[in-house]
């Protein structure tokens, strides 16, 4: 974190990200691919947001090999050692989430191009690809920070503290396939801030499976925090009164985020259909663009003062709480990272909803306020 000039938060590890390290042998890669590309896995776990992209979610529930690999004590020891703290998988649905870049327009087309043996075939670059400069493409690089690092090789892994570090994955060029598998972990150390959100998976996840797992893991974490506090209280000297106040306030915020993240799936579906999936995932960028409009502050202030959008919702209380936190100069936890924010800048409902990782709510508010129309006019 220090190398990236980022202020370490209360998260468990000072490691922002690691260099690539070997996790699977060549035979291990083939075994993993064999398990991943089974018909049962493809039929039950595959979705495709756009041509050339295949997503496999919940494969561990259809493959004992994948589940056993990611939860094996040796695997857990390797990933824990990489970041310097003991880790555990966040929840079953976060095991082995797989993104595949492969040729094809339908799920069946793309699946037919995936074989047990890894493809090393190179594709000829078009003149457009040859002239492409990733440093000038904000969709493939984070503009304010570029460092050239060696990409991971076959069977290699990296650890990234994704909840604390802004990151993205650009599409690979000149290759027939690119497969990346992601498993999300959290620290097993009590008292450490858990920066987990489910914003990115709500539009396509099976919430009948996701939400119960989310509830269980969050409530177990709450139980563990309280048990740890009780153990320390019973076995150690008397605690300061402020300690229990801190614990209670932390758990209240934790429970609120647990509940807020469980958005009605029908509502999410309606918003994504209305505004489009790209807008959902680009919500922070949209907010940045619309803030440059000449009449942005007038429109945003008017929308928040009238409170015509969901007038009885708890988000308005959340907004006031965040405004007070900013006024006090205290860190504000966010899906976009924890930071002490500028007191001179107004904090609007759009800020609050993005802070909570509620992109569908943000788009709904944006449309209700009139700022979506402003954005569309700016975008041409």
Cα torsion through 268, 272, 277, 279, rounded to 10: -100
Report the pLDDT value the prediction gives residue 232, as an integer from 0 to 100. 85
Indicate if the alpha-carbon torsion angle 247, 253, 256, 260 is positive or negative: negative
Report the C-alpha gap between 119 and 131 in whole angstroms: 25
pLDDT score recorded for residue 143: 57
pLDDT (tens digit, 9 = 90+) per residue, 86-123? 999 999 988 999 999 999 999 999 999 999 998 877 77
Q: How many of the other CB atoms lie within 10 Å of CB of 7?
A: 12
Residue 176 pLDDT level (bands cut at 50, 70, 90): confident
**φ and ψ at residue 180, rounded to 5 degrees:** -130, 135
Which residue is associated with the tokens 């899906």? 335
Give whole-number Cα distances, 250 to 144, 227, 240, 343, in Å: 32, 15, 16, 23
Alpha-carbon separation of residue 231 from 12, 167, 224, 239, 335 (angstroms): 21, 38, 10, 12, 31
pLDDT level of residue 164 (50, 70, 90 thresholds): confident
* DSSP letters spanning 336-351: T--BPPPTTS---HHH
**Count H helices, E strands: the chain?**
16, 8
* Average pLDDT rounded to a whole number, residues 305-323: 95
- Contacts with 240 (C-beta within 8 Å, 6 or more apart), sequence order: none
End-to-end CA distance of the chain: 38
CA atoms within a 13 Å half-sphere pointing along the CA-CB vector of 40: 8
pLDDT of residue 199: 94
What token pair was written down for 163? 């909840």
Q: What is the CB-side half-sphere exposure of residue 165 using CA atoms within 13 A?
A: 21
Question: What's the average model confidence in pLDDT over 205-223?
Answer: 93
| pLDDT, tens only, 351-371 | 999 999 999 999 999 999 999
Per-residue pLDDT reduced to its tens digit, 227-270: 988 888 887 777 677 788 888 988 999 999 999 999 999 999 99
CA angle 138, 143, 144 (to 5 degrees): 165
Q: What pLDDT is stored for residue 117 in this prediction?
A: 93
Phi, psi of 339 (to 5 degrees): -160, 160
């Amino acid at each position: 974190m220090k190398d990236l000039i980022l202020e370490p938060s209360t998260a468990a590890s000072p490691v922002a990200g690691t260099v690539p390290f070997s996790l699977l042998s060549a035979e291990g890669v083939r075994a993993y691919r064999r398990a991943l590309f089974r018909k049962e896995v493809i039929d039950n776990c595959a979705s495709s947001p756009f041509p050339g992209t295949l997503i496999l979610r919940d494969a561990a529930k259809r493959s004992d090999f994948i589940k056993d690999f990611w939860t094996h004590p040796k695997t857990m020891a390797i990933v824990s050692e990489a970041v310097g703290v003991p880790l555990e998988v966040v929840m079953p649905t976060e095991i082995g989430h797989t993104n595949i870049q492969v040729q094809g327009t339908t799920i069946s087309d793309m699946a037919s191009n995936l074989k047990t043996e890894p493809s090393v075939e190179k594709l000829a670059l078009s003149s457009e690809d040859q002239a492409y400069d990733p440093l000038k493409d904000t969709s493939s690089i984070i503009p304010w920070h570029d460092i050239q690092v060696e990409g991971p090789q076959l069977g290699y892994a990296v650890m990234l503290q994704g909840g604390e570090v802004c990151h993205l994955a650009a599409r690979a060029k000149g290759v027939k396939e690119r497969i990346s598998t992601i498993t999300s972990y959290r620290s097993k150390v009590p008292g450490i801030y858990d920066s987990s959100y489910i914003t990115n998976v709500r539009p396509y996840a099976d919430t009948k499976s996701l939400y119960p797992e989310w509830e269980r893991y969050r409530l177990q974490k709450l139980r563990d925090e309280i048990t740890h506090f009780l153990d320390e209280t019973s076995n150690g000297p008397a605690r300061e009164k402020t300690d229990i106040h801190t614990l209670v306030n932390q758990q209240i915020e934790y429970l609120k985020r647990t509940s807020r993240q469980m958005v009605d799936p029908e509502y999410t579906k309606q918003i994504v259909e209305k505004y489009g999936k790209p807008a959902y995932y680009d919500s922070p960028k949209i907010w940045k663009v619309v803030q440059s409009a000449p009449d942005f502050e007038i429109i945003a202030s008017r929308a928040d003062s009238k409170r015509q959008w969901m007038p009885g919702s708890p988000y308005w209380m959340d907004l006031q709480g965040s405004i007070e936190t900013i006024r006090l100069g205290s860190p504000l936890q966010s899906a976009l990272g924890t930071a002490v924010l500028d007191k001179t800048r107004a904090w609007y409902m759009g800020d609050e909803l993005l802070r909570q990782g509620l992109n569908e709510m943000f788009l709904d508010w944006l449309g209700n306020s009139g700022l979506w129309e402003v954005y569309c006019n700016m975008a041409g």
